[in-house]
Amino acid sequence: MTRNVRGKKAAKRLPRRIVRKFWPTKIAALIISAIQDLRETKGSTPSKIIGYISYASDMADGKVKRQVKSVLKRGLKYGILRRRGGHYYLPTGDELDRANRVALRFAKLPLPRKVAPMASHRRTSKSAARERRTKRLAPSRPVLISPAVSSTNTISNVDDQ
């Protein structure tokens, strides 16, 4: 490490993590094409859409699943998709007009923030596991109170006679 003029240690500079941009229009276009190509009468389920996209593209399954779920929510929010009973479908209308509306709506979507994945903060030591465990109190004994006369009173009364 290098030293400053004042004698303090200089802080290490860590390399910045490179974050790839997420382009929602690409996955959104894949989802729309999946819904159109699957041609389900009731609409397409998220699992069928995920299966179609993972088969058609070379992305990892977990990544596809996360992105499809977020784009489906966003599509509902902006009115691009409709949902009924867990099935997603495109609104009916003229095909060309619908395609233009969809393209315009997706162009207006904001890009998500650039966020690097955080490291796991999970503690693995036994003491940490003990700390997480719920504290159990010893069960307290209830005071026995009966409406009948106690046995000590009956014994003492028997001796008095």
What distance in Å separates the CA atoms of residue 70 and residue 88, rounded to the nearest whole number?
A: 13
Residue 50 CB neighbours (<10 A): 21
Phi, psi of 84 (to 5 degrees): -145, 115
- 24-42 pLDDT, tens digit per residue, is 567 888 888 888 888 888 8
Note the pLDDT tens digit of each residue in 103-155: 777 777 766 666 565 655 555 666 666 666 666 666 666 555 555 555 555 55
Of 46, 37, 24, the residue nearest 103 (C-alpha) = 24
Largest distance between two CA atoms of the chain: 108
Q: What is the pTM of this model?
A: 0.47
